[in-house]
Amino acid sequence: MQKSKLIFTVLALFSLGIVGSALLTNQPSVHASEGDKKADGKKSLHDNMEEMGSYFKKVRKGVADPAKNKATLEALAVVQAHSIDAKDERPHIVSHAGPGQRKDLVKAYRKSMIEMNIELLKLELLILDGKNEEAVAKTKEIGKLIKKGHNKFQDDH
Q: What CA–CA distance (Å, rounded) separates 63 from 38?
A: 33
Q: What would the x/- binding string for ligand HEM be over residues 19 to 38, using CB under 6 A?
A: ---------------x----
Q: What CA–CA distance (Å, rounded) separates 71 from 56?
A: 12
- Regarding 81 and contact with ligand HEM (CB under 6 A), the answer is no
For residues 95-154, which are near ligand HEM according to CB under 6 A? 109, 112-113, 116, 145-146, 149-150, 153-154
Contact 73, 80 (CB under 8 A): no
Of positions 56, 62, 72, 105, contacts ligand HEM by CB under 6 A? 56
Q: Where are the beta strands (DSSP E) in the chain?
A: none
Nearest one of 38, 51, 43 to 80, comparing CA atoms: 51
Which residue, 31 or 112, is less far from ligand HEM as judged by CB? 112
Which residue, 6 or 144, is less far from ligand HEM as judged by CB? 144
Rounded least distance, CB 97 to ligand HEM, Å: 13
Q: Where are the beta strands (DSSP E) in 11-156?
A: none
Query: For residue 66, how far is the Cα from the chain centroid?
Result: 28
Which residue, 14 or 104, is less far from ligand HEM as judged by CB? 104
Contact 83, 95 (CB under 8 A): no
Binding site for ligand HEM (CB under 6 A): 34, 45-46, 49-50, 52-53, 56, 79, 83, 91-92, 109, 112-113, 116, 145-146, 149-150, 153-154
